[in-house]
Amino acid sequence: MTPTTAVEHRGRPPAGSGRHGPGEVAGGARSRRAMLALAVVESGRLLRHPAVLAAAAFGAVLLWSSGRHIVPVLSRSDIATQIPLAPLAAAALLATNLAALRAHRDGAEDLYGATGLSLALRTIAHLLSVLALVALAGALVAADLAWLAWVPGRVGAPNPAELATGPALIALCGCLGVLLGRVWRSVTVAPLALAGLAAGSFALNLPGFNNRPVAWLGALRVVHGDPLPAALLGRPASWHLAYLVGGAAAVGALAVAFAVWRGQARAGRDGRAVTATVLVAALAVTTTAAVAQTRPPSPALAARQVATTGRPTAHQVCQRRGPAVYCVFPGFQPQISLWEPTVRAVLGSVPPAVTAAAPPVVVAQRIDQGGMTLQQLALAMAQRKDLRGQAVAPVGTAWGRTGRALGASQLRLAGAVAARIVGLPAPRPPAQPPAHLGEIRISDPAVNARAVVALWLAAQAGPQAAAELRHRMSQMGIVGDVGEAFNLTDQPDWDDPAWGGREGQYALALLDRPPGQVRETLRRNWALLTSPATTRARLAEVFGLQPPPQQGPNQIDDHQLQSTQGTTR
Amino acid sequence: MRRRWLTRQLRLVPALLVPTARAIGWAPPLAAFALSVGLLVLAVRPGASSAGSLVVWLRITMVVGALGYAFLLDDPSEPTTQAVAGSLLLRRTLRVALLLPATAAWWAAAVWRVRVVHPGVPLPVAALTLEVGALLAITIALAAAGSRLAPERRGGVMAAPTLLAVTGAAILLPARLALYAQPGGPGWAGAHQRWAMLLGCALAAFAVASRDPAHGQVRSRVRNRFRRPARGHEAGRRPPGIRDAEPETTRPVP
């Protein structure tokens, strides 16, 4: 503070110099230097502010935790950097507001009036100090991307506009903190404004607004579900970045304008003209970007999303690796090496003669249907029904890295591969499209002995897959009747097989047996156990199993062949 | 002794009411109440809505309203009023008590709005009132603790961001320790036991953070006075050249 004050005194223009004389020009240059010196000091104070330090640490933890579970798809990882930076944006608003109000809080405004730096120049210094927080956010984003780029199997390329959105939000919030400090000399306003902003952005991300372009008027737009191929994203990321940056510039210019008005500034005509020009230009950019980003998505994009869901094979490239053919969306080829061990683990538990005689399993990527409208889903379903071809084992566009996420990915793929190898019929899309978004219709669940065998094979993909199967079955036990059909994924495609709940219970009982013993029995009785005419009771006899106890009100007879029936969740 | 002290404190209440009402900064809490109800009115509209989503909006209302409470204890004159007969705890409790009618009206308005728009949705009002009580108590405790650290006893500067951080942390709690449980969910009862516990802890923390610093100083001065002979004896054994400060070294201001 001391050096700044010294510079300020030296930078004061000589009294009574009304014209642009050489002394005033030199004084102006000194004032700018003093302003930059103040900006440097304020930057340091902002970076050391407890709220900023805590938010930066919290943001770093959020970035780490959001990236550690899934093998990165960088066209989604860039979007995933935005929410973790929201706490830092909140801290920027509060910290810059407190900094702008420091002189008022300390009762030092009269003292500042005796210095050469006008309120407008001090306001600009506060606005410039926000750049330090932007740089901090940029460093966090860069570190996150560098970490994710080293993960084996990562795919895609990040969008620079998405990466810059988080830092731009911090710039907007920092400038807003300064503006609020200039308009209201109260520390109460900033927390309330922050709460209002957060509540507004939260409301715009609720399902009611989720598919409406107006949701882009909020600070950030959250995405759910598995990552989509970049061509299907349809996010106006560049316009949203312009909206945030333009908003930050407009808010900053308003803060300077208020300071000029408040300070009865020694600001010259040039300064006022520059402020007005920046304000008008920033408002123009913000308005244009707001209009552009809230336009409805193009019909071509909607058609592309429908076609990719309805006829995915037309948009995929396939390659044979070992006992399977892998079909992926362009750019997702590195993920094949992540799937291979799972496919090999399942086929490794099948008698070699069966694997050799069977046609290669087709593993095909499917996109998450969660982001589509009901109309798009109906169209895509009609296209899929017309599709004729070999049954496939679907796999999502996201693949887990550790723990439950890895287990869930493995279980979905392994279950689908096992369904193909035991000869279960290919699943069909349900007769009717979903009545509301998020509804999952389970039709034709796999039942009887071969479904039990397939579920046991799926759990052989690895310990995480077995743990995930146990977890899913335990969740079913909590929420409802264990006789209910279930999926092995929360984002099922129409090609994902569904499973009978009783079959799941038998598979868990089989999992408690030594794997080598089960594998040997399976090898000797493969034809019997994978026959559509073999009941669960017969399978229990072959393995010497005690039938698992039934808990639901509707007891199922294990001696009878189970017929399939659809259920809805 | 304690009872006499309490009686003396309570006798001061009528005399302190009007000055305390004048000293309170009414704008922050009333602005927070208005903003929170405004947000609720905008968010809770007629149409299909579940108890879960309505509870989320009531919780947002609670947090925004509590932000106003964060500034309730801000009192730059506290250092000069340390010497008055009413304790700090009494003066602060009076501030909270004076705001309670407005708080009750605010919460009733929030619940009434939700009830009127969605009369068919069952709302766990008692449990949510416990939540709002605990959250306001936590905020007041944070403000009281913050006033010891913030310059000019303006604890709101620390309490408001801390409240937001605490709320964020509460949302991220694991299921077995969850505070923001879904109505009808398995963790609802346990969460409200934790809210009740937090309410008690926050009130205790408020009382501890509002101990009168002046009383402590008086007590220590009295204790020091009684110990003076012993200290004087020690002072007599000090090495030569070290003396007590002389009163005349402090010059009176002309």
pLDDT in tens, A162-218: 999 999 999 999 999 999 999 998 888 999 999 999 998 888 888 766 567 888 998
The per-residue pLDDT for A416 is 95
Residue A485: strand, helix, or coil: coil
Q: Looking at per-residue confidence, does B134 or B1 come out higher?
A: B134
CA dihedral for A550, A555, A561, A563, sign (positive or negative): negative
Per-chain mean pLDDT for chain A: 86
The pLDDT of residue B225: 64
A507 contacts A548 by C-beta, under 8 angstroms: no
CA distance A178 to A382: 55
| Bridge-based pairing state of the strands A361-365 and A393-395 | parallel
Contacts of B31 in chain A (CB under 8 A): 188, 192
Q: What whole-number distance in Å separates Cα of residue A99 and Cα of residue B161? A: 15
The total number of residues shown for chain B amounts to 254
Phi, psi of A312, deg, nearest 5: -65, -30
- Chain A residues near residue B67 by CB distance under 8 angstroms: 191-192, 195
How sure is the predictor about B88, in pLDDT bands with cuts at 50, 70 and 90? confident
pLDDT band per the 50, 70, 90 thresholds, residue A11: very low
Of B25, B27, B164, nearest to A90 by CB-CB distance is B164
Q: Three-class SS of residue A470?
A: helix
Residues in contact with A270: Cβ distance below 8 Å, sequence separation at least 6, in sequence order: none
Residue A445's pLDDT band (cuts 50, 70, 90): confident
CB atoms under 10 Å from CB of A478, counted, come to 7
Instruction: Return the C-alpha torsion angle B164, B206, A186, A287, nearest 10.
Output: 10
Tell if the CB–CB gap between B71 and A105 is shorter than 8 Å: no
Which B-chain residues 27-66 have CB contacts (< 8 A) with chain A? 27-28, 31-32, 35-36, 39, 42-43, 53, 60, 63-64
Tokens representing residue A553 in the block = 């009100």
Q: Is A114 on the interface with B (CB under 8 A)?
A: no
* Banded pLDDT at A43 (limits 50, 70, 90): very high
Does residue A508 surpass a pLDDT of 90?
A: yes
Q: Which of A65, A110, A68, A99 is nearest to A84 (CA)?
A: A65
Check A199 against B68: CB less than 8 A apart: no
Tell which wins on pLDDT, A28 or A372.
A372
Q: Tell whether the model's pLDDT for residue B232 goes beyond 50.
A: no
Phi, psi of A568 (to 5 degrees): -125, 140
Mean residue pLDDT of chain B comes to: 83
Q: Which residues of B touch A106 (CB under 8 A)?
A: 151
Torsion of CA A237, A241, A244, A248, to 10 degrees: 180
Choice between B243 and A422, residue whose per-residue pLDDT is larger: A422
Output the CA torsion A401→A407→A409→A415 (10° steps).
Answer: 150
Residue A105 contacts B, CB cutoff 8 Å = yes
Q: For A127-143, what is each residue's pLDDT tens digit?
A: 999 999 999 999 999 99
- Chain B positions touching A87 (Cβ under 8 A) are 168
Q: How confident is the model at residue B233 (pLDDT cuts 50, 70, 90)?
A: very low
User: Given a cut of 80, is residue B134 above it in pLDDT?
Assistant: yes
Residue with the bigger pLDDT between A113 and A100: it is A100
Contacting A residues, span 212-231, partner chain B, CB-CB under 8 Å: none
B96: tokens are: 């909270």
Question: Which pLDDT value is given to residue B243?
Answer: 47
Predicted confidence (pLDDT) at residue A243 exceeds the cutoff of 80: yes
Whether the pLDDT of residue A283 is over 50: the answer is: yes
- Give me the residues paired with residue A446 across strands: A499
Chain A with chain B: Cβ pairs closer than 8 A:
60
A196 exposed, middle or buried (CB, 10 Å; 0-12, 13-18, 19+)?
Answer: middle
Nearest-angstrom CA–CA distance, A226 and A242: 27
Strands (E), A203-264: none
Are the C-beta atoms of A173 and A118 separated by less than 8 Å?
no
Provide the pLDDT for residue A23: 54
Tokens of B249: 């070294």
